[in-house]
């Protein structure tokens, strides 16, 4: 099973200002190319899963219900657009309080338990932070960086999921 693990903020949607969080649906905005890129990957047979650190819950900036509402609406819109998200895995904890917060791999292992046939060697992590790339390296997944200044051990660096999808469909086909 070919799987794309996606970070959320800064990859699928516009990131909040430094120190702030996307706390409700009215603050959520898909990034240019995100929906079309995810649709391209889905149409090519990739399973799409979101793996996201959401420390805003631990800090009391949003509730688990607020986050669930964002993810429900995000998944609904992407599903309607032909880019269904198979699952969303969330770490709501503060730094150093759990095993699931990226760069740890607990959320990925949860997905592995939930999805028989998931093989990290045939999976790719798309992210915009060093912790995303470190988790991918630990799991031996492909590593796709969204944004500027990629770390040296990424496989591809792009500025949108749409660009990433085009490269992945060429490289991983």
pLDDT at 172: 78
Which class for 19: exposed (0-12), middle (13-18), buried (19 or more C-beta within 10 A)? exposed
SS3 145: strand
pLDDT beneath 70, residues of the chain: 173
CATH of region 3-171: 3.40.50.1000
pLDDT digits (tens, 9 = 90+) for 36-65: 999 999 999 999 999 999 999 999 999 999
CA distance 142 to 121: 8
**What are the helix and strand counts (H, E) for the chain?**
5, 6
pLDDT for the residue numbered 153: 85
Q: Is 128 a catalytic residue?
A: no
Which pair of structure tokens corresponds to residue 71? 């993810």
Would you say 144 and 18 are in contact if contact means Cβ atoms under 8 Å apart?
no
Helix (H, G, I), strand (E, B) or coil at 150: coil
pLDDT at residue 11, rounded to an integer: 98
Query: How would DSSP label each residue in 54-67?
Result: -TTTTTTSS-HHHH
- Nearest CA to 4 among 40, 31, 33? 40
108-125 tens-digit pLDDT: 999 999 999 999 999 999
Active-site residue (options: 7, 66, 128, 132):
7
The answer to whether the CB of 52 falls within 8 A of the CB of 10 is no
Query: Which residues, at least 6 apart from 98, have a Cβ–Cβ distance to it below 8 Å?
Result: 91, 104, 106
How far lies 94's CA from each of 90, 105, 110, in Å?
12, 15, 19
Q: Are 91 and 98 in contact (CB under 8 A)?
A: yes
Assess whether the previous peptide bond of 103 is cis (omega < 30° from 0).
Answer: yes
Active site residue 132: no
pTM value surpassing 0.85: yes
Cβ-contact 133, 126 below 8 angstroms: no
Is 139 in contact with 105 (CB distance < 8 Å)? Answer: yes
């Amino acid at each position: 099973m070919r799987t794309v693990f996606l970070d959320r903020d800064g990859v699928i949607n516009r990131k909040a200002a430094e120190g702030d969080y996307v706390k409700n649906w009215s603050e959520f905005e898909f990034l240019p190319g995100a929906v079309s890129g995810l649709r391209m990957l889905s149409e090519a047979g990739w399973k799409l899963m979101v793996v996201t650190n959401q420390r805003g819950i631990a800090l009391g900036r949003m509730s688990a219900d607020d986050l669930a509402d964002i993810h429900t609406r995000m998944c609904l819109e992407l599903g309607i657009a032909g880019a269904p998200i198979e699952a969303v895995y969330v770490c709501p904890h503060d730094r150093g309080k759990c095993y699931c917060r990226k760069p740890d791999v607990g959320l990925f292992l949860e997905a592995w338990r939930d999805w028989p046939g998931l093989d990290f060697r045939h999976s790719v992590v798309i992210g915009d932070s060093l912790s995303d790339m470190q988790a991918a390296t630990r799991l031996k997944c492909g590593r796709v960086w969204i944004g500027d200044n990629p770390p040296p051990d990424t496989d591809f660096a792009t500025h949108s999921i749409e660009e990433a999808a085009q490269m992945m469909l060429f490289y991983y086909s």
